[in-house]
Amino acid sequence: MGCGTALRASEGGMNTIIIDQSDMGQGASGVNAGTLSMQIKRVKLMPYAIKGHDMWQKMGQEVDFHKTGGYTLAFNDREADLLHDRMTMKKEAGANISFVSPAILQEKEPSLAQKIVAASYCPDDGYANSSLTGQYYRKRITQLGINYMENTKITQINETSTGYEILSGENRIQTKRILFACGGWLKEAVSLIGEDIPVNARVNTVSVTERAPRLMNSVIGHATGLLTMKQKNNGTVLIGGGWQGIGKPSEGRGKVVMDSLIPNLQLAKFAAPKLAKVRIVRSWTGFEANVPDFYPLAGKLGKRDNAFILGCVRGGYTIGPYISSLMGDYILGKEPEMPLFDPSRKFEQGKLI
Amino acid sequence: MYDVIVIGAGPAGANAALTAEHYGLNVLLIDEGSDAGGQVWRVKSKSILSAPVTETSLKGDKLRQRVKSSEVDILFETRVWQIEQNEEHVWQLGLQGVCERSSVSGKALIIATGAQERVIPLNGWTLPGVYGLAGATALFKEHMILPGKNTVVAGSGPLVFFVASEIIRLGGTLSAVVTLNSRFEWLKAAAEMISKPGLLWQGVKWVFKLHIKGIPLHWQSALSSINGNEYVQDVDIIKTTKYGYLKRKLNVLVEADSVCLGHGLIPAIEATRLAGADHHYDETLGGWVPTIDQCGRTTVKYLYACGDNAGILGVQAAPYRGELSAIAAVEDLTGSTSETINHHNKALKSLGEEAAFGIAATALTIPKNGLIENIGKNVEVCRCEGITREEIEIELIKGSVSPNSIKSGTRCGMGPCGGRFCSESLAMITESITNQSREEIGLPTARPPLRPVSMDEISDELDYDELPIPGVSPL
Amino acid sequence: MSSENTDQIKRTEKISFTFDDQTVEAYDGETIAAALLRRGVIHLRNAPNSNTARGMFCGMGVCQECVVEVDGYKVEACRTKTSNGLIVKKVSYV
Ligand SMILES: Cc1cc2nc3c(=O)[nH]c(=O)nc-3n(C[C@H](O)[C@H](O)[C@H](O)COP(=O)(O)OP(=O)(O)OC[C@H]3O[C@@H](n4cnc5c(N)ncnc54)[C@H](O)[C@@H]3O)c2cc1C
Ligand code: FES
């Protein structure tokens, strides 16, 4: 999202530099499961997700965008009720979601489990290949001639009369404005200028299989949100669902643990039984920023006029390109098309049902 | 829970397990092979009932006998796919294979996963009939079978001569033996290997055998291409400079139906990396190695590394390295005694004597700068995903400089082998374009599983109502 | 050639398995890849992207080049043992 904002700010005439401690787009945006699903988006964020989805669609082939349609599954009555309530609300919020009978689903996706009691469908759902996020942005940024520094960790930030001085090793950069778009590393980053925000990091697990015979054509989800699954054109199946690994952003890239990986894979196998014979070639984790109410952070940092923060919680991949363009406008001093999310709001504890 | 778990039952791991058991600890030894012995003392296939005894088969049998008659618990034909350490420092391993258990835990973990082969790509290296040198030794030792009817053996280091001599012993035909090393390099190595005259003499015998049989031996030469459509038909052999650059126009075409090719051994570090240990680059030890003290203690508590995966020192050094790491584990778990201290000192002294030989042999395989030229732009560097050198270079020029980033952009290293065969050459190509050191280039992030594992093997049938639902995502 | 039974090398009884349409004799307990190599069958699959021919390469379960299909599972031919009547197939990719 830092890259997206930089593009917008630079197009608006600002002299911009991007600094990343690692490679461009290798944070959450480069390791996530790439699901672009309306069905897993939160009701209040739906308008943003729809815009974000359009932007991914425009990036098209360069990010391996595919609109496959997506099914969300319920395996028992409790989940069916949950699915019904949630999807109805999302539909009202503007998502193109309908309910389908298990019989129709069986016809469209014959390799899925027999035990499905209810399902919903959204034709707009699909995926992009998150591995290509960095590649895409690096290209755009180079085209626009925006400066960037990779593998440069910011170690100190001094406030100056005109803005900020950013230090990293030998490097010193003077800037009028600063945007923190450090994902799971946000808390650590803003502490460099003495701010504290209630952000922690989720450690999401994703796995990929080797090439398998065609097992599914659409993006598959689960009523609880604990499974996302898609089979790419090359036959590999990506399995996610937000199961938590361990580790801290300050200590590497997190670790996969069997206690959460195994149930994640069991659920996938339950939904698509033929996966049983397919081999997993890699499981990994990525850090995602998390705040108590699970909404994005987008706006001014504390009481400062020239420091900003942009962090996205849950589903940030879909929304990312759009909310970063709003952020870019905001930094340019323009009124954003849709409201941002004040980082200084009072955070109510969001509910997990 | 075990006191000590040892992964890898080669000479290092098996001796580590036996040593830990000797000090009264409760030990588990795991290996994917069907018995102890590792690569070097590889156990014969069960389909071979009897065969002529050789020095290595004798040593292997002796080790297997010692393991069998010990109290060490064994899990053979079992692979470790995941390694975790909890907050109390207890190790938890995910297992796959014939064993009943899907996981096992232990207080100390000794990793002895040995070496894997470095094969620097060249045109035609993906053809059926091309084998790694180490892979070829597996054919001889395990199956007593030849790679083909007429074979070219090529590459660097001692394995070239060992493989050639084994092919002769098993009655095969050699079309040519091609070594990147010069006679001078061998002489230099020999001077450092003089502490082991027996082994040195062995080497001389190998070369002599080739001469007697009239087999063309090409010193300081390389294969520039392996030719054929579906199978190997012939190979081009070219003289190189001292630094491994091909001298054009001087190639010899030699017919062959098989090629054994390898450029030295490199430590198999996936397990120590997955376990979280720090690693550094040391070309004299074969490349990336876990950072260890002289007993094999890594930077992670209760994690030890011994054997070639901790730096290529060869089979002679391995048993002592195994003993040392077991003693370290014993001392860390139960405290030191005069016996452990004496044992430690003795093993350390023996290790010192043996290590020099291994280092001299490894020096012969340090990749020469010129080798990189031999990877043509259309050569598939990543065999799994079919990623060519050219595709990698384009990605580098576009601005990706780290292995993680190149992987993302090209899929190089994302296939089923997990980048185990391309990461060396990927780093060499990166080095040649960005001028970063190997240490600066680094390694891609270590991730499980250590080997591809089917969902069935990882996860039992799900009792749906038992699924630990950690809280549904927010609305 | 010494890869067969000789005076010096004694091997187990012969069994047979199939590789696609081919019936292959093997010594009981040897690996699929070794048995196929003995019969001169070394082209085990085609690579997914380049479609080039592949066979056993590392011989020790690392490179995944020798992968074949047994009972719907992908297995390493260099490490999987043969047995009488075993049905082995070439893998195919979508
Ligand atoms: C495993 C996983 C799966 C996911 N699946 C999905 C999905 O399927 N669909 C979906 O819509 N969303 C998904 N998400 C969420 C989505 O990926 C994120 O919300 C989004 O990418 C966040 O973007 P970001 O740019 O804010 O953060 P990031 O991509 O994490 O970028 C932050 C960057 O800041 C850099 N940085 C941090 N600190 C410093 C410092 N001190 N100095 C310099 N640089 C620094 C980091 O290196 C990093 O590159 C998933 C997230 C994860 C982790
Ligand atoms: S030959 Fe490499 S895995 Fe079998």
Assign residue A20 the CATH number of its domain. Answer: 3.50.50.60
Mean pLDDT of B232-242: 96
- CATH code, domain carrying A222: 3.30.9.10
Q: Are A284 and A232 found together in one domain?
A: yes
Query: Could you identify the residue written with the tokens 């597996």?
Result: B138
- Together in a domain, A172 and A310: yes
Lowest pLDDT segment from A12-16, A109-113, B279-283, C90-94? C90-94
Query: Which value does ipTM take for this structure?
Result: 0.95
Helix axes B197-212 and B159-169, enclosed angle (nearest 10): 60
Q: B84-128: per-residue pLDDT in tens?
A: 999 999 999 999 987 778 999 999 999 999 999 999 999 999 999
Residue found by looking up tokens 């508590």 in the block = B301
Same domain, A222 and A109: yes
| Residue appearing with tokens 């070594």 | B179
DSSP track, C23-41: EEEEETT-BHHHHHHHTT-
What is the helix (H) or strand (E) element at residue A130, kind and residue range? none
pLDDT at site B472: 64
Same domain? For A184 and A103 the reply is: no
- Do the domain assignments include residue A9? yes
Residues A217 and A99 in one domain: yes
* Any domain includes A51: no
Per-residue pLDDT at B202: 82
Is there a single domain that holds both residue A206 and residue A318?
no
Q: What is the pLDDT of residues B156-181, one digit of tens each?
A: 999 999 999 999 999 999 999 999 99
In Å, what is the CA distance from B419 to each residue of A108, B181, B447, B451, C28?
36, 27, 11, 11, 33
**Structural domains of chain B in order of their starting residue, each with its CATH number:** 2-116+265-362 (3.50.50.60), 119-262 (3.50.50.60), 375-441 (1.10.10.1100)
CA–CA separation, C92 and B377 (whole Å): 27
Q: Is residue A58 part of a domain?
A: no
Within 8 A by CB and 6+ apart from A212, the residues are: A231, A235, A236, A237, A274, A275, A278, C94
Q: Is the pLDDT of residue C2 over 70?
A: no
Does pLDDT of A250 surpass 90?
Answer: no
Query: What pLDDT sits at residue C1?
Result: 42
Range of the structural domain that residue A188 is part of:
2-28+132-199+293-331
B83 residue type, one letter: I
For the segment A92-119, the average pLDDT, to the nearest whole number, is 95
What's the total number of domains in chain A?
2
- Identify whether A55 is part of a domain: no
A43-67 confidence digits (pLDDT tens): 999 999 999 999 999 999 999 999 9
In this structure, are A217 and A160 located in the same domain?
A: no
Note whether residue A39 is domain-resident. no
B residues 437-456 lying closer than 8 A (beta carbon) to C: 451-452, 454, 456
Give the separation between CA B385 and CA B340, rounded to whole angstroms: 49
For B198-219, the pLDDT digits (tens) are 878 888 888 888 999 999 999 9
Strands (E), chain A: 17-19, 35-36, 66-67, 70-74, 98-100, 118-122, 126-127, 147-149, 156-159, 164-168, 171-175, 178-180, 200-209, 219-222, 228-231, 237-240, 279-290, 297-300, 307-311
Euclidean distance between CA atoms C14 and C35, whole angstroms: 10
Interface with chain C: mutation pick from B145, B167, B382, B454, highest number of C CBs within 10 Å: B145
Tally of residues, chain B = 475
Residues A261 and A191 in one domain: no
A3 with A18: CB under 8 angstroms? yes
Q: Is residue A169 part of a domain?
A: yes
A158-205 pLDDT, tens digit each: 999 999 999 998 899 999 999 999 999 999 999 999 999 999 899 999
pLDDT of residue B197: 82
**According to the model, what pLDDT value does residue B98 have?**
79
Q: Given the structure tokens 């060396």, which residue do they identify?
A: B424
Residue in chain B lying closest to C61 (CA): B451
Cα–Cα distance for residue pair B76/B79, rounded to 1 Å:
8
For residue B32, the ligand closest to its alpha carbon is 2
What radius of gyration, in Å, describes the C-alpha atoms of chain C?
Answer: 13
User: Pairing relation of β-strands A118-122 and A164-168?
Assistant: unpaired
Same domain flag for A222 and A98: yes
pLDDT at A352 over 60: no
Considering chain B, what percentage of its residues have pLDDT values greater than 70? 98
Per the listing, tokens 């001889």 go with B140
Same structural domain for residues A234 and A282?
yes
Query: Ligand 2: which residues within 6 Å by Cβ?
Result: C 56-59, 61-66, 76, 78
| From A240-249, B30-39, B242-251, C14-23, the region with the lowest mean pLDDT | B242-251
Ligand nearest to the CA of B417: 2
Report pTM: 0.93
Spell out the residues 6+ positions from residue C22 whose beta carbon is closer than 8 angstroms to its own.
C41
Q: Write down the pLDDT at residue B248.
A: 73
pLDDT in the model for residue A161: 93
Interface membership of C1 toward B (CB under 8 Å): yes
Kindly report, residue by residue over A276-309, the tens digit of the pLDDT.
999 999 999 999 998 988 899 999 999 999 999 9
Do A285 and A306 reside in the same domain of the chain?
no
A254 and A284 co-located in one domain: yes
Nearest chain A CA: its distance from C75 CA (Å) = 9
